[in-house]
């Protein structure tokens, strides 16, 4: 086998975080762009010779070419065993599981999550370590260093590897194993949930529609929901992965999964509507004419987690990111379990999950997970709901309304301000931070500001400190606003304003419940002054 060295020059725009690197597809198509990243990752790791590397991908445009290159580079760099999903498909949570199941050294995942794909869409790459979780910042910082210095990479000469059939091939001294992407994951889910109870639910005529959004979860959903659990054929819609996701934005929320939402609110609504994003780590839940807010969903999972066989006697506590509504805190209080508030980003849950501080965690952005894999997991979250519904014989609406009755309702909304000017957005946050000290005790629109501070976080396990993770403004015990800059936009900037209002009245329209808080927050932020008129505003 021929290993050759290719000379290359660094791309200084390359960066890398815990969710990897995401760029427009055509940026990735530049000569050696991907190769530089992959070799820099390998150059940063030690002791992987002869070990296993897992390669996953959400199937988006560019997926297969990238996988071919990565396999050839992994062999040239002396990995002994390369595991790749059939046809290059492996969801993010399934990749995480395959890594730990095979005691792999790590894994490379090709995804830009819920971002659109195709020639004009996004592509992305991330690296997960042996725990199955994303590479920590200490490691991704080394990746960046190497990327900015790289001058060569290694590759082997070989024909493209056939990824269409499951089985092993020997290439040089390495084994390339193509696996069924669905098999191990399904088996794991069978160990976690009461599949018999869920089967009975479907036997009794329970109807569900699952929208795979033309992305990676289609094959998982068809197999698990329809073939194994007995949901009616056709329950999974948009279930065949398409490289450009059929031109849609594969993000399960009220805006981008509109057809599913319309179905849930129509006379022919099934008992449950659910969806996942491009790479399968996010999820959305709707009952008949009833949307379950992700913060409420997390609280329902916490309240019922011990009903799920895998978690019996193992509900240690929960965590939510700070901008996520605090319904789960109320449940944990009653259960006398710890509840942590972390900065935005999945990486902050890792140490808590690994050290049994929590069993469950989630974010307002439709992600939830547990210690079963070190990634958030969409299909898993939906199976949680199915298991809970099978156990309680209650609808999503009944479950959520009962919870509101018990604890009060926390109304949540996120307002996104997209601007082309990252500078103006930063200015807004800076000037807000500067006036924080003078805010408390101010009365604005019938609300009194009782506290205003920057959100800093010390990891309870590692003691690592993260400062400046957003601005928190508390208006008494029941109202809170949080403001931060999005860390995931590929151009311009997005200012995110998160509103939380707790109320004993549980039947208000969200807009109405949040009206006073929203006006007060606008008053303080004065968005038009800083961002100008050319902002795009969306609410989720
Ligand atoms: C967004 C979400 C956040 C999530 C991240 C990665 O980040 O808000 O909850 O962890 O995507 O999926 P943001 O754009 O707000 O920085
Ligand atoms: Zn995702």
How many structural domains is the chain composed of? 3
pLDDT above 90 as % of the chain: 88
Separation of alpha carbons 239 and 218, rounded Å? 4
What average pLDDT is seen over the chain?
Answer: 95
Does any ligand 1 atom lie closer than 6 A to the CB of residue 487? yes
Task: Ligand 1, residue 484: give the atom nearest the CA.
Answer: 15
Which of 125, 151, 181 terminates a domain? The answer is 181
Q: Are residues 224 and 362 in the same domain?
A: yes
Q: Are residues 243 and 384 in the same domain?
A: yes
What are the residue numbers of the active site?
Answer: 113
pLDDT 10s digits, 215-248: 999 999 999 999 999 999 999 999 999 999 999 9
Report CA(346)–ligand 1 centroid distance (Å). 8
Q: Are residues 357 and 398 in the same domain?
A: yes
pLDDT 10s digits, 517-532: 999 999 998 888 888 8
For residue 347, give the ligand nearest its CA: 1
- Ramachandran angles phi, psi of 399, nearest 5°: -60, -45
pLDDT 10s digits, 132-150: 999 988 999 999 999 999 9
Q: What is the pLDDT of residue 446?
A: 87
* Range with the poorest average pLDDT among 340-344, 352-356, 447-451, 491-495: 491-495
For residue 60, give the ligand nearest its CA: 2
Separation of alpha carbons 131 and 113, rounded Å? 20
pLDDT at 42 over 90: yes
Q: What is the pLDDT of residue 527?
A: 86
* pLDDT, average across residues 302-324: 97
Q: Are residues 120 and 215 in the same domain?
A: no
Does any ligand 1 atom lie closer than 6 A to the CB of residue 486? yes
Q: Answer yes or no: pTM beyond 0.85.
A: yes
Report CA(505)–ligand 1 centroid distance (Å). 30
Separation of alpha carbons 261 and 211, rounded Å? 10
| Coil vs helix vs strand at 534 | coil
Q: Are residues 244 and 385 in the same domain?
A: yes
Q: What is the pLDDT of residue 245?
A: 98
Task: Residue 85: name the closest of 77, 21, 70, 33 by CA.
Answer: 70
Q: Are residues 152 and 243 in the same domain?
A: no
Q: Which residues pair with 23 in a beta bridge?
A: 123
Does any ligand 1 atom lie closer than 6 A to the CB of residue 345? yes
* pLDDT, average across residues 89-117: 97
Q: What is the pLDDT of residue 370?
A: 98
If one residue of 295, 363, 419 were mutated to test the ligand 1 pocket, choosing by the most ligand atoms within 8 A of its CB, it would be 363
Q: Are residues 228 and 267 in the same domain?
A: yes
Q: Are residues 286 and 353 in the same domain?
A: yes
Does any ligand 1 atom lie closer than 6 A to the CB of residue 488? yes
Does any ligand 1 atom lie closer than 6 A to the CB of residue 276? no
Q: Are residues 90 and 218 in the same domain?
A: no
Which of 373, 389, 407 terminates a domain? The answer is 407
Q: What is the pLDDT of residue 526?
A: 86
pLDDT 10s digits, 173-220: 999 999 999 999 999 999 999 999 999 999 999 999 999 999 999 999
Q: Are residues 359 and 226 in the same domain?
A: yes
Report CA(17)–ligand 1 centroid distance (Å). 12
pLDDT at 491 over 80: no
CATH number, residue 88: 3.40.120.10
User: Are 221 and 129 within 8 A, CB to CB?
Assistant: no
Q: Are residues 147 and 219 in the same domain?
A: no
Angle, vertex CA 382, rays to CA 267 and CA 115, nearest 5: 90
* pLDDT, average across residues 368-397: 98
Q: Which domain holds residue 505?
A: 409-539
Report CA(215)–ligand 2 centroid distance (Å). 11
Does any ligand 1 atom lie closer than 6 A to the CB of residue 35? no
CATH number, residue 451: 3.30.310.50
Q: What is the pLDDT of residue 17?
A: 87
pLDDT 10s digits, 434-453: 888 888 888 888 899 999 99
Q: What is the pLDDT of residue 533?
A: 79
Q: Are residues 360 and 503 in the same domain?
A: no
């Amino acid at each position: 086998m021929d290993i050759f060295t290719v000379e290359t020059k660094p791309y200084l725009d390359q960066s890398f975080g815990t969710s990897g690197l995401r760029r427009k597809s055509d940026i990735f198509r530049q000569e050696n762009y991907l190769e530089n990243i992959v070799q820099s990752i390998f150059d940063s790791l030690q002791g992987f010779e002869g070990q296993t590397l897992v390669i996953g991908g959400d199937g988006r445009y560019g997926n297969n070419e990238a996988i071919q290159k990565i396999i050839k580079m992994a062999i040239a760099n002396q990995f002994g065993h390369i595991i790749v999903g059939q046809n290059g498909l492996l969801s993010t949570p399934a990749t995480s599981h395959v890594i730990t199941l095979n005691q792999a050294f790590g894994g490379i995942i090709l995804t830009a999550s819920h971002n659109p794909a195709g020639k004009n869409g996004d592509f992305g790459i991330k690296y997960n370590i042996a725990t199955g979780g994303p590479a920590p910042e200490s490691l991704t910082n080394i990746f960046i260093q190497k990327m900015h210095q790289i001058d060569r990479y290694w590759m082997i000469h070989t024909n493209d590897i056939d990824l269409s059939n499951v089985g092993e091939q020997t290439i040089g001294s390495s084994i390339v194993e193509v696996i069924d992407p669905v098999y191990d994951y399904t088996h794991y889910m069978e160990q976690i949930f009461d599949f018999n109870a869920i089967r009975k639910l479907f036997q009794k005529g329970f109807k569900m529609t699952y929208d795979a959004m033309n992305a990676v979860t289609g094959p998982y959903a068809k197999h698990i929901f329809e073939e194994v659990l007995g949901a009616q054929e056709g329950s999974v819609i948009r279930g065949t992965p398409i490289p450009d996701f059929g031109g849609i934005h594969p993000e399960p929320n009220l805006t981008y999964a509109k057809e599913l939402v319309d179905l849930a609110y129509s006379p022919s609504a099934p008992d449950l509507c659910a969806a996942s994003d491009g790479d399968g780590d996010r999820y959305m839940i709707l009952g008949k004419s009833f949307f379950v807010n992700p913060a409420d969903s997390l609280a329902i999972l916490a309240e019922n987690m011990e009903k799920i066989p895998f978690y019996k006697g193992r509900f240690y506590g929960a965590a939510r990111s700070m901008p996520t509504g605090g319904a789960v805190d109320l449940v944990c209080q009653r259960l006398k379990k710890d509840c942590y508030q972390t900065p935005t980003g999945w990486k902050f849950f890792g140490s808590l999950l690994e050290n049994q501080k929590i069993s469950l965690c989630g974010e307002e952005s439709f992600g939830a997970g547990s210690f079963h894999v070190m990634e958030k997991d969409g299909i898993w979250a939906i199976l949680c709901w199915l298991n809970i519904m099978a156990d309680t014989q209650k609808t999503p609406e009944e479950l959520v309304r009962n919870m509101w009755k018990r604890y009060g309702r926390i109304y949540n909304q996120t307002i996104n301000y997209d601007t082309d000017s990252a500078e103006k957005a930063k200015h807004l946050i800076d000037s807000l931070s500067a006036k924080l000290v003078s805010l408390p005790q101010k009365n604005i629109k019938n609300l009194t500001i009782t506290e205003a501070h920057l959100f800093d976080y010390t990891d309870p396990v590692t003691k690592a400190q993260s400062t400046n993770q957003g601005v928190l403004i508390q208006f008494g015990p029941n109202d809170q606003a949080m403001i931060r800059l999005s860390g995931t936009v590929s151009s311009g900037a997005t200012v995110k304003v998160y509103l939380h209002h707790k109320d004993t009245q549980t039947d208000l329209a969200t807009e109405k419940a949040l009206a006073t808080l929203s006006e007060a927050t606008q008053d303080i932020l004065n968005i038009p002054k800083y961002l100008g008129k050319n902002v795009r505003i969306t609410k989720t």
